[in-house]
Chain A
């Protein structure tokens, strides 16, 4: 149980275009979802937290107009990188938790590698 999927697993896009990454909880309802970014040889940094049906809360230094997050349903969150630039190339990982059930763990997706050329 507690499986989180991400799509796509990797994507290459041209500078200036937008890319959407999906995060789905497959066997539980994720009332809260989290988006992280990981640069090579570095640890995960939380970008934003989203609760179903409400606006995402962004961490300091993360541009909300550039990284659009939509938590559309209890099983789906999307991250759209708008007007992507090479410095946005990174490994993006989502996680999810069923806060209504008081679940204590966050379950992580397999990640999406974004390369902006």
Chain B
């Protein structure tokens, strides 16, 4: 059974800082891994998807890396802004089937 851990659980930083969110998973047999953003009381917005054969993906100020063999992924946010405040979730997808397993997320607060 896949288990996903995200560290830290919560993070508060001043605007402009670069930061790293960590995700670890127990079963390395994954098809891909997605990073999502969730605003309070809202659904999920997909940020980045990394295939199992890829090492990293970039979108704007976001960069996600994947080390499948060690069961780790990181989300790097450059030059953080107050609008980045949200909960960030990682979700690896198993190599068989469609199931995404979610971590409990990192709650990010970026102070102006």
- What is the interface of chain A, defined by CB distance below 8 A to chain B? 6, 32, 34, 42-46, 49, 91, 93, 95, 97, 99, 104-111, 113
Contact = CB atoms under 8 A, between A and B. Distances in A.
Contacts of A46: 99-101
B98 A32 contact: yes
Interface string B2-45: 00000000000000000000000000000010101000011111
Nearest to B97: A49
B89 interface: yes
Contacts of A97: 98
B46 interface: yes
Most buried by A among B36, B41, B43, B89: B43
Given A91-B41, A97-B98, A113-B41, 11 more contacts: A32-B98, A34-B98, A43-B103, A44-B89, A44-B100, A49-B97, A104-B51, A105-B49, A108-B44, A109-B43, A110-B42
B92 interface: no
